[in-house]
Structure formats: C-alpha cells, structure tokens
Amino acid sequence: MRVAATLNQTFHALSDASRRRMLERLADGPASVSELAAPLPMTLAAVVQHVQVLETGGLVTSRKRGRVRTCALRDDALAGAERWLGDRRTAWQRRLDRLGDVLDATADATATADETAET
C-alpha cells in the first residue's frame, strides 16, 4: 500500500488537466480505466500512466478484478495538500491583512526605477 505520498507527488498529480478531469469523474463514483479514458483524447496506455501518477500522488486507489481495473478516489486524498494550503493561507492572510502591501506603499513613496516583473 502506498501510504506516503509526498506533497511533491500530490501537487504534481494535480497539475495536469487530464488528471484533474479523471478525478472529477471519479468523484461521481468508481470507474474502470476505459471509462476514465473514454472522454479523453488519448490512448488507453496513456490513461493507465495517468492513473499511476494519481496513485503515487495518493489520490486514487485501484484494484484489478478479472480483466477490469476499477479506480476509486482515496478518502484521505487531498488531506495533505489541503492542510498545507490551509496553513499557508491563514499564515499569510494574517500578514497581508496586517501590513497590507509593503511593496505598493514603498513604491508610492519613492517611485523611480520601477518594474513589475510580470508577463
């Protein structure tokens, strides 16, 4: 049993749209690999690989019964990810509430050589 999915693996698993679609599908109940594959524009083999990523990310379990592999969400799936996000959010929410936007403030005061690094 894969118990120790790292945050790295979990977030990585979540960073792909196809995999998120599969998770959304699974939220409606367990599904076979082919069922997961059906709406996706890729081969079965590719989907199997995605399932593996989801498993090492600790998001999904699967079990093979006859020739069908059935996948289901793990109950504790998002625990780690959500915990981390939650911790950070409250931490910096507090901070941001408190001292607002240091950047904008200082920028205002002495606005000279400015450059916002955004594309």
Residues found near DNA in the complex (CB under 7 A): 12, 15-16, 18, 32-34, 37, 41-46, 48-51, 53, 64-70, 113, 117
R_g over Cα of the chain: 21
- Eight-class DSSP state of 75: T
DSSP calls for 14-51:
HT-HHHHHHHHHHHTS-EEHHHHHTTSSS-HHHHHHHH
Which among its own copies, DNA, none contacts residue 18 (Cβ within 5 to 8 A by kind)? DNA
Q: From the CB of 42, what's the least distance to its own copies, in Å?
A: 16
Strand pairing report for 31-32 and 68-73 = antiparallel
Place of tokens 């599908």: 25
Q: How far is CA 19 from the centre of its chain?
A: 9
In this chain, which of 38, 42, 46, 72 binds its own copies, going by CB under 8 A? 72
Amino acid at residue number 117: A
C-alpha count within 13 angstroms, C-beta hemisphere, residue 27: 8
In this chain, which of 28, 45, 46, 53 binds its own copies, going by CB under 8 A? 28
Nearer to its own copies, 6 or 43 (CB): 6
Note the residues at the interface with its own copies (CB under 8 A): 1-2, 7-9, 11-12, 14-17, 20, 23-24, 26-30, 51-52, 55-56, 61-66, 69-70, 72-73, 75, 77-78, 81-82, 84-86, 88-89, 91-93, 95-96, 99, 101-103, 106-107, 110, 113-119
